[in-house]
Amino acid sequence: MNEDSTYYQKSVLVTGCSSGMGRSIALFLAQHGFLVFATVRKEKDFNSLKDIDEKNLVPVFPLDLTIQEHIPNVLEIVKKELAARNIKGLYSVINNAGGGFIAPIELMDIGKFRTELETRILGPVALLQAFLPLIREAHGRILWIATPSLIPIPYVSSIHACDFAQNCLARTLQIELGPWKIPNILIRCGGMDTPSPAKNALELENSMKEWPKERLNLYKEALIKNQESLSKFDKKRTDPKKAAETVFKALCAKNPKSRYQVGHLSKSAAFFECLPQALVDHIMSGR
């Protein structure tokens, strides 16, 4: 790499870099020449990223997207690091952080649903409000790690309600930020091999012990069937490095597409989305 202080290095901020796709994307981009601000919400994850000792990787802690007060400090860190390297603006914010859980809507924990909405929708909006002046300065682009398809999937509405809202935000921003040519790009991921499916399965197991028996019994058989088909799906999930490569492609493309598909069953899920809504609903009700 050119060490001249006038060298223009592109910088990106990735949220949720403790594991899974966020960590993979952050490492891949740093190893391929981007300056990467990798945000985490736990000190142990900050230390783990520091231990990698990758010169282009700047771990940033804490950023919990449910805590808006964390954002000004993150902005200060980013501005300071950019100034120290003589880099103008931030080329991209990559909205990746998220969680979600499995539950029928009738039994879902409203507190956990609120947390997910804050993490995937309100937090990213507040983050972008803070970072847009820097993105504008760099003539940058915004990336969203997204679902492969906008369809109603039973028992995961905490995730998919956010996916629908995220899609709305990204497409609306594409229009609102049009005058400054700041693309909003959806990286639509099929099944990716990350810790999240195992976390969700464990959380469901615990919830099933807590839900009132008579109401759980209404859904139990369907939930067990759902988990069985998910565990078959889990065996075919894609290495998150593929998502990182797709993000790299979207960042480097001169004229990026508005959406990229990657991961297990991503393309067929996208096709499913094109079917008439009544037909999709009918198919999903047979699951």
Q: Tell me the closest approach of the beta carbon of residue 213 to ligand NAP, in angstroms.
A: 30
Residue 42 as a binder of ligand NAP (CB under 6 A): the answer is yes
One-letter amino acid at 246 equals T
- Report helix, strand and coil shares of the chain as percent, to nearest 5: 55, 15, 35
C-alpha torsion 223→225→230→232, nearest 10: 160
Q: Tell me the closest approach of the beta carbon of residue 64 to ligand NAP, in angstroms.
A: 4
Nearer of residues 97 and 135 to ligand NAP, judged by Cβ: 97
Residue 64 as a binder of ligand NAP (CB under 6 A): the answer is yes
Nearer of residues 31 and 66 to ligand NAP, judged by Cβ: 66
Q: Tell me the closest approach of the beta carbon of residue 85 to ligand NAP, in angstroms.
A: 25
Distances (CA, A) of 176 to 92, 172, 179, 210: 17, 6, 7, 45
Q: Tell me the number of residues near ligand NAP by CB under 6 A.
A: 30
Residue 115 contacts residue 99 (beta carbons within 8 Å): yes
d(CA 246, CA 240): 10
Q: One symbol per residue from 138 to 157: x for binding ligand NAP (CB under 6 A), - otherwise; what is it?
A: -------x-x----------
Q: Give the H or E element holding residue 143.
A: strand 141-146
Among 196, 241, 249, 272, binds ligand NAP (CB under 6 A): 196
Among 66, 68, 167, 227, binds ligand NAP (CB under 6 A): 66
Choose among 265, 263, 277: nearest CA to 152.
277
CB atoms within 10 A of CB 97: 26
Stretch that binds ligand NAP, among 59-67, 203-211, 248-256, 277-285 (CB under 6 A): 59-67
Stretch that binds ligand NAP, among 48-56, 62-70, 71-79, 133-141 (CB under 6 A): 62-70
Nearer of residues 34 and 64 to ligand NAP, judged by Cβ: 64
